[in-house]
Homo-oligomer: A and B are copies of this chain.
Amino acid sequence: MTSTHQRAEAAIEADPTVPAIHITRDFAATAAHLVRAHTDPELFVRWIGPNGYETTIDHWDARTGGSYRYEQAGQGFHGCFHHVCDDRLVQTFTWEGMPEGVSLDTMTFEDLGGGRTRMHATSLVGSFEARDGMLSSGMEVGVNDGYAKLDALLADGLVA
């Protein structure tokens, strides 16, 4: 596989200098499609997280200054939307199993041409220990399963 091929797996990388995780993933979609997939709750529940779990929305207001909460596999997740616009999402995230833990998540979208977009997602947390705990938690399964489900929704034209 060379660098000219489609990137099917997400690149999940520890930042070398700050306690952040960077995820990079290419999609056959526009930035607008990807923003919609992250902000429309009916779409979001169809792809987020590992295969085989049902996601239910508790509340969802994906506007700058809004907030969200959802449940998946008996676990709760919540945060607030700091900034929502056409090319950038900034939001907070807490898994309620570790309520002291908060990440600041930023997503930006790079137009690759030909209807393809590279998503750059960064999760910033308060310590390297917390960051390394996230990386060793098996998060890549949920990330890659989720984005594969999103690929399928995009291919089926369901993120119009």
Contacts and interface: CB of A to CB of B under 8 A. Distances in A.
Nearest to A127: B18
Contacts of A90: 92, 102
A94 B128 CA distance: 24
Nearest to A100: B88
Interface stretch (A47-55, A76-84, A138-146): A76-84
A106 interface: yes
B80 A65 contact: yes
A94 B82 contact: yes
B102 A83 contact: yes
Contacts of A19: 18
B92 A20 contact: no
A84 B62 CA distance: 19
Given A17-B128, A20-B126, A124-B126, A81 B83 contact: no
Interface in A60-90: 64-69, 78-83, 90
B80 A102 contact: no
